[in-house]
């Protein structure tokens, strides 16, 4: 029965993840995996594993939450495009450079491959051996000193001729001399055998003794002929290996070159090698141009990982993603357009994500994605662990500003209360600790402050970005205004957007200052909120929600 493969479906929040984006992705992965485990699996079906990843770096608030519940944050995924390690399934084992050409040929036939990777003792790639290399060694090599030149191990000779070692050390190698077929009388033999030669002979005692007297390094006795104790003793004393084989001299002569180590014939220069983390988009043109069937793949530390062929590109499956807490292409992980989106769970307005086929979309007008995930646990009758409850409750506290945000609904409050009960959490105390951690802005750079919670939006031909900083320290926010104003224009230019806004939200007073950059930003802002900004800033009383109170106004003004 074919072994089941493990298929991964990634769950990702937006590119500048907040606490909801991270915690909801982690909780949804937990939920999906539990549902999958509970179902009766088809014995022939591939196993599906759900894995939370993050598309950006954690902000301080989220770091606090991860530490509070003693969990490891999702792995950072810089780019969602398909990598070599996602599509190549050829884990053909590498071979040592010491194995014989015959053994390499047998291995190729067994694994149905035309190329094998040669690695050293630490797994590092040394070269490649192909069927063409083996054919060349058999058809084009006539040098009878080739065994010595290649430092052929005795064990290779024994294996190739299917022989038995009667004297000598199999670990030794042929280091000098030539290959001699001894069929003549002893007088002629003496003139042709030199010290170190490999001698192929029959059952004649005189010929065997003559080869030993001439200090041959190896004698191969053919036709299964018996070898006397005397010959074995003399061979042992002289350091000569004696190999007995059932093959005749003709067969042994044909086979002997197949005992050569593959390292002698392997290709080791100008190899086309790919890193397993390389993106398929970056290497497919190279693969199509090169007249090679299989390409070696190595890890980041240059250890051999397997082989990839053009067939892998033809049969390539894109990475599969579930998006949480966003559905805008500009907010998604880099390369999302090259993936297959299978599901979206969000609480924002529907945006610009496009899918190649129908998918499940769950979009609810609640204050937090974590509230929807909580509902899904209840609907599927899956028990919520204390840790997951703590993560989901933290996300709701963060997104609703402890129920102060106008986006907060009764459902958010109910979910948070139930989750806090499961987690044994004092919401008020936890909220203060979370917001204090997120408000510690003194050591952060301007870029870190802006991007700790930043999203892009598009209306018609206009793209604008909105960052938000929440704090319980009004004095800190006032200082931040002057610090951030000069930075916004360079950030706007870097992002290649028409306008950029930064909301500085005071959780306690439930007001926000807004600073901005862009030629039309001040005009749009003044008309949308019916007040004229002064010195590059405006106070928006009662505005704490980017999603429900700020962005809709901006979108409306741009569409007017």
Report, in this order, helix, strand and coil percent for the chain, each rounded to 5. 40, 20, 35
| Residue-by-residue DSSP string for 165-216 | EEES-TT-B--S--EEE--S-HHHHHHH--TT-EEEE-S-HHHHHHHHHTT-
Bridge partner residues of 504 (DSSP): 469, 513
pLDDT number for residue 398: 95
pLDDT number for residue 140: 60
Angle at 383 between CA 325 and CA 358, to 5 degrees: 40
CA 389 to mean position of chain CA atoms: 30
- In the predicted model, residues of the chain with pLDDT beneath 70 are 1-5, 40-46, 89-90, 140-141, 184, 315
- Domains by residue range for the chain, with CATH: 6-82+318-438 (3.90.1640.10), 86-138+264-314 (3.10.580.10), 165-246 (3.40.1390.20), 446-559 (3.10.310.20)
- The model's pLDDT over 456-481, given as tens digits with 9 standing for 90+, comes to 999 888 999 999 998 888 888 888 89
- The model's pLDDT over 312-341, given as tens digits with 9 standing for 90+, comes to 777 677 899 999 999 988 899 999 998 999
- The model's pLDDT over 14-71, given as tens digits with 9 standing for 90+, comes to 998 999 999 999 999 999 999 988 876 555 566 789 999 999 999 989 999 999 999 9
Read off the tokens for 482: 């002057």
pLDDT number for residue 412: 97
For 408, list phi and psi in degrees, rounded to 5: -70, 135
pLDDT number for residue 1: 40
pLDDT number for residue 380: 96
């Amino acid at each position: 029965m074919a072994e089941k493969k493990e298929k991964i479906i990634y769950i990702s929040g937006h590119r500048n993840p907040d606490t909801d984006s991270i915690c909801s992705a982690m909780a949804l992965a937990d939920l999906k995996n539990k549902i999958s485990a509970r179902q009766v699996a088809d014995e022939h079906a591939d196993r599906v594993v759900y894995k939370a990843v993050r598309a950006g770096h954690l902000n301080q608030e989220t770091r606090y939450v991860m530490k509070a519940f003693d969990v490891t944050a999702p792995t950072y995924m810089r780019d969602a495009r398909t990598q070599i390690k996602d599509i190549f399934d050829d884990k053909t084992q590498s071979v040592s450079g010491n194995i014989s050409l015959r053994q390499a040929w047998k291995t190729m036939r067994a694994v149905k491959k035309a190329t094998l990777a040669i690695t050293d003792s630490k797994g590092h790639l040394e070269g490649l051996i192909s069927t063409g290399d083996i054919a060349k060694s058999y058809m084009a090599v006539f040098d009878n000193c080739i065994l010595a030149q290649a430092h052929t191990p005795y064990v290779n000779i024994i294996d190739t001729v299917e022989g038995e070692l009667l004297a000598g050390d199999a670990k030794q190698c042929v280091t000098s001399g030539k290959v001699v077929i001894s069929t003549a009388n002893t007088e002629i033999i003496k003139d042709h055998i030199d010290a170190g030669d490999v001698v192929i002979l029959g059952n004649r005692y005189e010929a065997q003794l003559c080869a030993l007297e001439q200090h041959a390094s190896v004698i191969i006795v053919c036709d299964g002929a018996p070898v006397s104790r005397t010959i074995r003793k003399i061979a042992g004393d002289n350091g000569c290996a004696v190999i007995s084989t059932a093959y005749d001299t003709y067969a042994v002569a044909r086979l002997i070159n197949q005992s050569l180590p593959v390292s002698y014939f392997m290709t080791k220069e100008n190899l086309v090698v790919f890193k397993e983390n390389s993106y398929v988009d970056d290497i497919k043109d190279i693969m199509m141009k090169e007249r090679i069937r299989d390409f070696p793949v190595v890890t980041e530390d240059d250890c051999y990982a397997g082989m990839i062929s053009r067939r892998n590109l033809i049969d390539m499956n894109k990475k599969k993603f579930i998006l949480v807490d966003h559905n805008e292409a500009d907010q998604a992980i880099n390369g999302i357009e090259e993936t297959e989106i299978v599901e979206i769970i969000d609480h924002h307005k529907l945006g610009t994500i496009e899918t190649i086929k129908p998918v499940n979309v769950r979009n609810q007008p609640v204050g937090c994605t974590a509230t929807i995930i909580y509902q899904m646990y209840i609907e599927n009758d899956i028990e919520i662990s204390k840790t997951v409850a703590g993560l989901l409750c933290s996300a709701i506290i963060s997104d609703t500003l402890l129920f102060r945000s106008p986006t907060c609904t009764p459902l958010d409050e109910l979910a948070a209360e139930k989750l806090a009960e499961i987690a044994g959490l004092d919401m008020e105390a936890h909220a203060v600790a979370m917001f204090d951690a997120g408000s510690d802005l003194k050591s952060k750079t301007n870029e870190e402050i802006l991007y700790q919670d930043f999203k892009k939006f598009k209306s018609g031909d206009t793209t604008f970005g909105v960052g938000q900083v929440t704090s319980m320290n009004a004095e800190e926010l006032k200082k931040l205004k002057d610090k951030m104003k000069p930075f916004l224009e360079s950030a706007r230019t870097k992002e290649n957007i028409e306008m950029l806004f930064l909301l500085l939200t005071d959780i306690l007073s439930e007001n926000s200052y807004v600073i901005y950059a862009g030629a039309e930003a001040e005009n749009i802002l003044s008309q949308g909120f019916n007040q004229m900004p002064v010195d590059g800033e405006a106070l928006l009383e009662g505005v704490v929600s980017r999603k429900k109170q700020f962005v809709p106004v901006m979108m409306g003004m741009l569409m007017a």
